[in-house]
Amino acid sequence: MSRNDEVAEEVSDCFERRSSEAKRKSPQNFPKPDDNLMTSMNSANNEHKTRTNGDNEDLEPGNLLHADHKPRLLLMGLKRSGKSSISNVVFRKMAPHETLFLETTTTIRKEAMHSFMDFQVWDLPGQIDYLDPDFDAESIFGGVGAMIWVLDAIDNYMEPVSRLTETILHLQHSYPDIKYSVFIHKVDSLTEDFRDDTMRDVRQRITDDLYDAGLENPPITYYGTSIYDHSIFEAFSKVMQGLVPQLPTFEALLNTVSANCRFEKAYLFDVYSKVYIASDTTPVDMKAYELCADLIDIIVDMSEVYGWDRGQDQQETDRSQAVAAPSAESFVSNIKGYHLYLKEINRSALRAQVRQGFRLTIYRNLSFIGISKYSDFEISKVLVDQNMQAFQDTLLKVFPRG
Amino acid sequence: MNSLKKPQKKKVLLMGKSGSGKSSMRSIIFSNYVAKDVRRLGATIDVEHSTVKFLGSLILNLWDCGGQDAFTETYLTSQKSQTFSDVGVLIYVFDVESRSFEGSNPRDLLTYTAVISALAEYSPSAHVFALVHKIDLVQNVFRDSVIQDRTLAIQEYSGVFSKKLKVYGTTIWDQSLYKAWGDIVKSLVPNLHIIDGYLHDLAEETSAEEIILFERATFLTVTNVTSELGERNPYSDRQERLSNVIKTFKHSLSKYTHSSTASHPFSEIAIKAPRFNLILARLTNNTYVLVILPPGDLEIELSRFNIMAAKDRFVELDIMGWAAGDTERLEGKLNGRIKDGR
């Protein structure tokens, strides 16, 4: 908890905003959002403090970026392309229509996520030219795992395309490992045909420009996104999965679990951002993803409403519950023959870590969701619980920091 | 008791200036539209009548009155008696952005006064609800003061109804719509006290912190029982919030299963969390019940049985509302369904 206290000051401003604006806030029975989210406005010292709290390393602020293994995601793009809206919707649960009131970003905003692994999302203001030689590129681009270029689909996309290719060409020598993703944003306002045309055109232009400059097969993936539906979460999930080195192991694990428990589809979700870290290797069904994301929404909302601290009255039950209910769990039965099963991974995993003296920074907010069509699912739920326990234990071993 | 045997028909008038959002909110509450779908709605011409069954026993005759000046004039002149007689509830919608609300020529309020005086003439016992709609267009910090201002102004023009009048700030984009409509519908449910009594019994049996009864199709709150502990819950807007989130989830389910939104979406949602247990289960054909319990595996299983046991009593209550002749046929149907489902 001491960690929370120290972080509290820095996050207080963003929380005030959250509590007044955001319709959905973080659930209270899931870990406190204090650790999940911070906007320490371009203050390296603050960053330094929060980051080293957990690991007691003494680092000079200048060394930070190298010493730090957190993968970093950059959100870049021209001004008014929707970068801040994206980061607010995905990481702060802002309702999409409320992003209308967002003001122009003027400083680099850093969102730290501590879930399955720690990573940061930096929202870079669009009006600054980062290619200026006077600019300390290392402080921004050093240690970046992935860059998301947000491109406004309903605006003229000539300029952003040329800015992007410039940026890529500029960065590819010094930082060849960066993976690029282009979010062709605001596609919700385009008709389907036009959307495909736009996406094809953007892709063609970028590929051509880079080819002309001598860069073949650039590491770029393209996504059509909109904050008004699930596409933005889906796209973020894909980008994030690119940063997870253990992805094949997760997928294999999920395959095993869903085969043994007769799940049609199984996901490992980060509850807080609704980004999925991994899924089993059956083809991804956008609808199944949406359903799972909505299940998380309803559970988070209900947990928030009823997860308040009941103080004294709770004490007795707290003890019995520590044995009986190690982690949150939810079950939706008989949706036209389907069953939904959600199991929060973190709690018992956390406890295991405490026991073994590990650090507390991984595993928070992770949930497993399975969709089953097996008619006797409810009867065999005990077995599923048992399997989930085994799954959880294995997951713990996969993580490198253990 | 005789009154309970017949279906109760209540006339609900939905009025307000053209484009203020009457049809939009009606579609969201009763026709399973999601907020962004209302763009598709065109202007309402004359009056659109619709009948909505609420709780099976209560039939709402919804008159969605097109708000263009020409129509409003006919309601107040040639169709006056037809429109304003036997009204159970008048819902008057004000557009928060309207430019003719206040000032030298408060047209909105003047029309409203004309409507109110017609209502006072033909149905003096009606309930009046005024909704200050599209409140999402006002920034958060100003909302309360805007609603307060409007409330005072509307009250001033409400004549004999100014005491009974209830004003709500609403928007289709969040739960405020459910808050207003929950209250509107509550004012219409005839056998609320019986349902309340049963719910109290159930709460005692299950030692629940809170029990909320939702109507199936709209997921509006019918009634709720809250224990002493539950009263301390810091979220006072939880009922409408739940209505909102469950309804959203329902849409998502029906999208996944390709089924109609009007059908039964699920038989149960259970959440086991460290601080509470939650069961949202189908109670009768027309209702879902939400039970909040103390944490622990045992509690959730026990109360599942209690809810099952309580089902029969609530089913009876549902049937009481149906026309006498229907009862037998329905009873057979209901029993069949209860056996299928859980």
End-to-end CA distance of chain B: 31
Burial class, B41, CB count within 10 angstroms (exposed 0-12 / middle 13-18 / buried 19+): middle
Find where tokens 């870590």 sit: A353
Structure token pair of residue A250: 């997760």
The secondary structure of residue A219, as a DSSP letter, is S
> Which of B245, B248, B297 should one mutate to test binding to chain A, selecting the residue with the greatest count of A CBs within 10 A?
B245
Give residue-wise pLDDT tens across range A298-318: 888 888 888 777 665 544 444
Predicted complex ipTM: 0.75
Instruction: Provide the H-helix boundaries in A156-285.
Output: 158-171, 192-212, 231-241, 247-261
| B38 and B120 fall within a common domain | yes
| Count of Cβ atoms closer than 10 Å to residue B230 Cβ | 18
Instruction: Please name the amino acid found at residue B333.
Output: K
Domain residues for the domain of B38 are 2-186
Structure token pair of residue B127: 């309930």
CATH number at residue B128: 3.40.50.300
Please determine, for residue B129, whether its predicted confidence score (pLDDT) is greater than 90: yes
Measured over the CA atoms of residue B26, residue B32, residue B36 and residue B41, the dihedral's sign is negative
Structure token pair of residue B198: 């049963």
Nearest CA in chain B to A304: B235
**How far is the C-alpha of B105 from the C-alpha of A217, rounded, in Å?**
67
Q: State how far residue B218 is from chain A, nearest Cα, in angstroms.
A: 17
Q: State how far residue B132 is from chain A, nearest Cα, in angstroms.
A: 19
Structure token pair of residue A22: 């955001």
Confidence class of residue A184 from pLDDT cuts 50, 70 and 90?
A: very high
CATH of A247-398, one of 3.30.420.40, 3.30.450.190, 3.40.50.300, 3.10.450.50: 3.30.450.190
| Beta carbons of B256 and A288 less than 8 Å apart | yes
Q: State how far residue B36 is from chain A, nearest Cα, in angstroms.
A: 9
Cα Rg of chain B (Å, integer): 21
Measured over the CA atoms of residue B243, residue B249, residue B253 and residue B259, the dihedral's sign is positive
| B139 and B274 fall within a common domain | no
| Count of Cβ atoms closer than 10 Å to residue B156 Cβ | 11
State the average pLDDT for chain B.
81
**How far is the C-alpha of B125 from the C-alpha of B137, rounded, in Å?**
34
Give the residue from B159, B186, B213 where a domain finishes.
Answer: B186
Chain A residues with CB under 8 Å of B257 CB are: 335-338
The secondary structure of residue B45, as a DSSP letter, is P
The C-alpha angle with vertex A189 and arms to A186 and A195, in degrees rounded to 5, equals 80
Say which CATH architecture domain A2-241 belongs to. 3-Layer(aba) Sandwich (3.40)
CATH number at residue B330: 3.30.450.190
Contact B72, B112 (CB under 8 A): no
Give residue-wise pLDDT tens across range B267-284: 888 888 777 888 888 888
Closest CB from B233, B259, B271 relative to A299: B271
Q: State how far residue A86 is from chain B, nearest Cα, in angstroms.
A: 19
pLDDT at residue A223 in the model: 92
Chain A residues with CB under 8 Å of B256 CB are: 287-288, 290-291, 335, 338
Closest CB from B233, B267, B342 relative to A308: B233
Q: Coil, strand or helix: which one is B272?
A: strand
Least confident of A21-25, A342-346, B211-215: A21-25
pLDDT at residue A346 in the model: 55
For chain A, positions 331-370, list CB contacts with chain B under 8 A.
Answer: 331-338, 347
Confidence class of residue A225 from pLDDT cuts 50, 70 and 90?
A: very high
Structure token pair of residue B320: 């009481």
Find where tokens 């929370």 sit: A4
Domain residue spans in chain A?
2-241, 247-398
Chain A residues with CB under 8 Å of B268 CB are: 331-334
| B318 and B281 fall within a common domain | yes
Chain A residues with CB under 8 Å of B269 CB are: 298, 330-333
| B153 and B275 fall within a common domain | no
Instruction: Please name the amino acid found at residue A178.
Output: I
pLDDT at residue A222 in the model: 92
Phi, psi values for residue A336, rounded to 5°:
50, 50
Contact A108, A121 (CB under 8 A): no
Chain A residues with CB under 8 Å of B228 CB are: none
Structure token pair of residue A245: 């080195």
Q: State how far residue B288 is from chain A, nearest Cα, in angstroms.
A: 14
